[in-house]
Amino acid sequence: MTIPTMTEEFLAIICEAGRLTWQYNAADSQDARVKRVLLERLLGSVGEDVDIDTPFRCDFGKNTHVGDHAVVPARVVKEIR
């Protein structure tokens, strides 16, 4: 197994993902515009009519893509193989 090098850029992406995830979880659940903006900054792509329940956890958002009309329940775990 190869361990990725913790470059300054990689660490910055992880820190930004943590900050945006925290903001998303703290956002008013009725403020769809704010939540949408946060998801667009956090994830690789976000389709139309997306609802991601909180608490949401995301360590490295840019490799996550959510399609149209998606509902993601709280505490979904994505396993990477």
Domain ranges of the chain: 9-72
User: Helices 8-26 and 32-42, interaxial angle, to 10°?
Assistant: 160
Distance CA 18, CA 22 (A): 6
The answer to whether the pTM exceeds 0.95 is no
Helix (H, G, I), strand (E, B) or coil at 52: strand
User: In which band, very low, low, confident or very high, does the pLDDT at 81 lie, cut at 50, 70 and 90?
Assistant: very low
**HSE (CB half, 13 Å, CA atoms) of 35?**
17
Contacts of 62 (CB under 8 A, 6+ apart): 13, 17, 43, 44
In this predicted structure, the answer to whether residue 80 has a pLDDT above a threshold of 70 is no
Task: Work out the percent of the chain whose per-residue pLDDT is above 70.
Answer: 86
In this predicted structure, the answer to whether residue 2 has a pLDDT above a threshold of 80 is no
